[in-house]
Amino acid sequence: MAAGPQTREAHPAPADERRPRGGSRLPAPRPAAGARRIGPLRRELRRAMDSPLTAYYLLLGSGLLLTVLGLVMVLSASQITSRTIYGSFDEIFTKQLIAVAMGFPLMWIASRLPLRWYRRLAYPFLLGCVGALCLVLVPGLGIEVNGNRNWIGFGSFQIQPSEFAKLGLVLWGADVLTRKRRLLGQWRHMFVPLLPGALIILFLVLLGGDMGTAMIITVLVLALLWIAGAPGRLFAMAIAVVSVLTTVLIVLKPHRAARFAGFLDPFSDPDGSTLQAAQGIYSLATGGWFGSGIGTSYGKWGTLPEAHTDFIFAVIGEELGLVGTLSVLTLFAALGYAGIRVASRTKDQFVRLAAGGATAWIMAQVMINVGAVLGLLPIAGVPLPLVSYGGSALLPTMFAVGMLLSFARGEPKAEAALAARGPGAVRRAFARILPRRDG
């Protein structure tokens, strides 16, 4: 018996080939409007992140925005303190403005320096930092503030050598580990002379009582060793040693013990030992989503100590709200991502170590500062990079950002992409007095 003809239902045609009675093909279903918008946006974002200039512009944009925001917030947070101490509402802001005016050319020069210049600067710069740290201990030169002896005073001019020591240790550590890269499989070559040199810096910093800077230097050295390929057991030993040493240092100094107690319970003594921790949380809590507006902070009137330095993030939260604080953290995240990208994409060992060390230094300082303001970490007395008041902290940080910009120009195809855009007027002026970056 012959099989009957198969019906169309037994083998249905694909949806896009079905025809209505009129014989015309049905149009394919259109994607939703939201999907049509997200698709091109995702492609544009992926293309932007794959651009050879992504790290360069992230570093440049985030560095400039954070510095300008810092100027605005220092002006807002320091007015009352400036009036009380100097008799002028803008004295502290003027000093910060001068530091920024010095920092921008410094950052530009750093972004144009050849790699060999950074390596040549490593040893003399570190030796200069060690000498300056020794001068801090000299009576009549060293200045003590809030229990820490960290500053050198020359009349009305003060400088904090430990801030410059971070940059010196990055350059010197990267150069040492690069010179010994073929011997790093042997632990004595990996640790010597890096660890003895770092311990000298740490010893001098701790003699001045600056535990916050000592923590950042420790993170910086561990980052250099990790990038160089140190074994994991080293970091377990280092964490154990640092924990014991930190506990001893906290117990030996009453003001450190008070700060640690304030971290455990910020509201245990809000009018005394935990005043700063409690007022920082109060300032953040009163900011709401969008803040009370620039210049309207209550904390700067004296209730929040160090409003324009270590606790400027609390003033940002009060005046700009949650949106403002998240924006600041986003800018720091962009800067950190760009630094990590530069370190991971380069083939040059010195660039990898210096970029990784500088990024670890800046991001560790951000986490320690913000963690203290949020009550997640003990108050360590470290400024918020690029934002807090203080030229001694600002200048080496801006130089480090300029150094990262110089390294970002070395990404594959980045130099060619910048050359294709042509130099601007400022770049042409500096090109006449600075050497070429090659080498």
Helix (H) or strand (E) segment spanning residue 83: helix 54-86
Read off the pTM.
Answer: 0.85
Give the domain ranges of the chain.
118-386
Residues 6+ apart with CB under 8 A from 65: 331
* 148-203 residue pLDDT tens: 788 898 777 789 999 999 999 999 999 999 999 888 878 787 888 999 999 999 99
Mean pLDDT of the chain: 85
User: Cβ of 37: how many Cβ atoms within 10 Å?
Assistant: 11
Separation CA 196–CA 188 (nearest Å): 11
Q: Are 71 and 53 in contact (CB under 8 A)?
A: no
Would you say residue 323 has pLDDT above 80? Answer: yes
Kindly state the DSSP code that residue 52 receives in the 8-state scheme: T
Q: Are 312 and 384 in contact (CB under 8 A)?
A: yes
Which segments of 66-204 are extended strands (E)?
Answer: 142-145, 148-154, 157-159
Which pair of structure tokens corresponds to residue 199?
């311990």
* 60-70 residue pLDDT tens: 999 999 999 99
Residues 6+ apart with CB under 8 A from 226: 235
Q: Which residues pair with 143 in a beta bridge?
A: 151
- In order of 92, 146, 261, 380, the CA distances from 255 in angstroms are 26, 9, 10, 11
Location of structure tokens 């230094």: 361
Separation CA 370–CA 119 (nearest Å): 33
- The pLDDT, as a whole number, for residue 44 is 66
* 78-104 residue pLDDT tens: 999 999 999 999 999 999 999 999 999
∠ CA 166-250-153, rounded to 5°: 45
Separation CA 336–CA 358 (nearest Å): 10
User: Is the peptide bond preceding residue 193 cis, with omega within 30 degrees of 0?
Assistant: yes
How would you list the strands of the sheet with 157-159, edge to edge?
Answer: 142-145, 148-154, 157-159
- The pLDDT, as a whole number, for residue 30 is 62
* 204-232 residue pLDDT tens: 998 888 888 999 999 999 999 999 988 87
Selection from 59, 158, 152, 99 nearest residue 400 by Cα: 59
- The pLDDT, as a whole number, for residue 427 is 53
Handedness of CA 70, 72, 73, 76 (dihedral sign): positive
Quickly state the pLDDT bin for 33 (edges 50, 70, 90): low
Quickly state the pLDDT bin for 237 (edges 50, 70, 90): confident
Would you say residue 17 has pLDDT above 50? Answer: no
User: Cβ of 375: how many Cβ atoms within 10 Å?
Assistant: 20
Separation CA 341–CA 327 (nearest Å): 21
Torsion of CA 340, 346, 351, 356, to 10 degrees: 20
DSSP codes joined into one string, 201-218: HHHHHHHTT-HHHHHHHH
Would you say residue 48 has pLDDT above 50? Answer: yes
* 366-382 residue pLDDT tens: 999 999 999 888 888 89
Would you say residue 46 has pLDDT above 90? Answer: no
Separation CA 311–CA 304 (nearest Å): 8
Between 250 and 330, where is the model more confident?
330
